Amino acid sequence: MNLFFVLAHVKRVLFLVLFFATSISASAQRIIIINPVFFHADSAKKLLLINAPLQQLRAAVQGRDSITGLVASGRQYTFVRPVAKLSTRTSYRAASQGTTYTVCFTQVPVLALSTRYQVVDTPSVYARLMLTDTTGITAQSATGIEIRGDYSQSYPKKSFELSLWADTLGAASRELALLGLRQDNKWNLQAMYNDQLRVRLKVANELWQDIHQLYYKAQEPSAKSGIALAYTEVFINGSYQGIYTLTERIDRKQLKLKKYAQGIKGELYKGDNWGAATKFSSAPPFNNNSLTWGGFAYKEPSEVTDWANLSDFVSFVTTSSDGNFYSQYQSRFNLANAVDYYLFLNLVRATDNTAKNNYIAKYKANEPYYYVPWDLDGVLGNDWSGANVNITNDILSNGFYDRLVKDYSATGFQAALSRRWSSLRTSVVTEAGIGARISTNHAYLLQNNVYEREQLAWPDYQYDAGQVAYPGTWLKDRLAYLDAAFGPAAVLSAAGATDIALRVYPNPTSEYVYIETKSVPYQLSIQDVHGKTVLQTVLTSSVSRVAVGSLPKGLYLASLKTPATTVVKKLLIQ
């Protein structure tokens, strides 16, 4: 009898052990454990962001029941509705200790900054930085942080400059390679607040580098014509700030400019604002005790401030005779770069980058200057404020380019421009290729549900799905216009035994155009790009002034016909 009760008791104990073991196992299978490294919480916004590798989280519960909750940093969160399959594309609701949170999974790297100081424009204040991606912590460092930008500082979402420090005071710097970018101690976090899609800055910078390589690349293989960028989501003191691009900087190191050594070698100047020098309208007097001149900010060499070289070049552009300018400009400014930058400006229609938001650099002494773009956010159909402007039928320029476009010589700017545009249109500059860049970046952000979190972080932000198609539609019209403007040679046709001596100026123009030729009389016909004749007249003077101010802005074809020959030239009205 006693043995029977003993056996019954043992059986009951074994049953209970098996029951609880099974329950614990099932419970464990339905609750995922999050490594604290991948767990980022904003208690004020009630946001939990997890950037653990999604495939591993899915594998842990594959074939099991729906996930009922998660445990992170010693706290359990229960999903309001069990989750059948984890996704980055959507958000979830989970409750813990009487509070309901929005739970998001992302595969975007997360950069967390913590500081006890108020972050201001200047000086930088001490902060701790931790950067994680789906492999874990990739960087930790002391850093200085300050707000960067000019007008963009008025936006609620700020951009920042980071300076990696080796100590808490910034007495010594520290270099790290972040997110596959270069190893450096200086970094920018770009907020992209004025771009509804948060893709233009990245697309435009990468497009520029695929269009242009520095002319001395063979001598300096690691020199880059622009910056690399990587998306990251940012927390500051536990407050979610949204999606940013972590970017490299334009400096002597990026361009591999020669260092100062017994005199100036490499040079670097930033177009900081719309000044007389940056617009190439005049060369005002300079003061070597100042780090600014005519809209430029002095960058290199850091050992000495001397504006003489740049002032001399601006003076050459703005005051030299046509003979001197057209015979010398290619020795002073790299022609291939001038062509590529002009095409790029107009391709993406970077209205805020013709005078400011660019750099002028020189590799070493006795070498030509060249352009490098910067802050490429107001592009692809948007202006600097982020507004859709949908202008596709104009040509951007500055005082320098106003002179270059008049060089119709066989080895000059216009000939190089036409050849280069034709080459790019079969390689980098295609509607499909640029469209794919836009859609790929947009899809990455959409797949990681970034736009929903942007709205959570910045209530004024509203994701507009209608904006997704806009850049592509704009680009199609823009390319059609530029094909007409840049594709054909300056003289589109010349039928007749004798070449006609002809000048059409100013071109581009806005109010009137002068027609100068020795072959009189002749018939002038102006047609738009659709072939419609918008003006026709007979001229009898060797120099005639023709009013065109009533014509809409755009590209036209001016046909001049004499009994012996016909010539067609492009005419831009803007």
Give the residue-averaged pLDDT of 121-144.
Answer: 97
The answer to whether 456 and 113 are in contact (CB under 8 A) is no
Tell me if residue 51 falls in helix, strand or coil: coil
Place of tokens 């805020």: 352
Q: How far apart are CA 58 and CA 67, in angstroms?
A: 10
Give the pLDDT of residue 250: 98
Structure confidence by residue, pLDDT tens digits, 87-131: 999 999 999 999 999 999 999 999 999 999 999 999 999 999 999
Give the pLDDT of residue 63: 64
Token digits for 301?
A: 């060499």
Q: Strand 110-114 to strand 229-236: parallel, antiparallel, or no bridges (unpaired)?
A: parallel
Helix (H) or strand (E) holding 54: helix 54-61
Give the pLDDT of residue 18: 32
Give the residue-averaged pLDDT of 382-410.
Answer: 94
Q: How far apart are CA 84 and CA 155, in angstroms?
A: 40
pLDDT higher than threshold 80 for residue 491 = no
pLDDT higher than threshold 80 for residue 154 = yes
Q: Lowest mean pLDDT of 87-101, 237-251, 404-418, 503-517, name the range.
A: 503-517
Give the pLDDT of residue 551: 92
Give the pLDDT of residue 108: 99
Structure confidence by residue, pLDDT tens digits, 519-565: 778 888 898 766 688 999 888 888 889 999 999 988 888 888 776 66
| pLDDT classification of 569: cutoffs 50, 70, 90 | confident
| pLDDT classification of 377: cutoffs 50, 70, 90 | very high
| pLDDT classification of 26: cutoffs 50, 70, 90 | very low
Q: How far apart are CA 188 and CA 376, in angstroms?
A: 14
* Sheet strand arrangement including 512-517: 502-505, 512-517, 543-547
Give the residue-averaged pLDDT of 24-49.
Answer: 85
Judged on CB neighbours under 10 Å (0-12, 13-18, 19+), 154 is exposed
The answer to whether 225 and 213 are in contact (CB under 8 A) is yes
The rounded mean pLDDT for the chain is 91
Better pLDDT: 440 or 2: 440
Give the pLDDT of residue 490: 42
Give the pLDDT of residue 253: 98
For the chain, domains (ranges, CATH) are: 2-105 (no CATH), 110-191+221-247 (no CATH), 257-486 (no CATH), 491-573 (2.60.40.3080)
Give the pLDDT of residue 488: 60
Give the residue-averaged pLDDT of 500-525.
Answer: 82
pLDDT higher than threshold 80 for residue 289 = yes
Tell me if residue 374 falls in helix, strand or coil: coil
pLDDT higher than threshold 50 for residue 5 = no
Give the residue-averaged pLDDT of 303-328.
Answer: 98
Give the residue-averaged pLDDT of 377-403.
Answer: 95
Tell me if residue 278 falls in helix, strand or coil: coil
Give the residue-averaged pLDDT of 150-167.
Answer: 95
* Sheet strand arrangement including 533-539: 491-495, 566-573, 554-561, 522-528, 533-539
Give the pLDDT of residue 479: 95
Better pLDDT: 278 or 491: 278
pLDDT higher than threshold 90 for residue 517 = no
Give the pLDDT of residue 10: 41
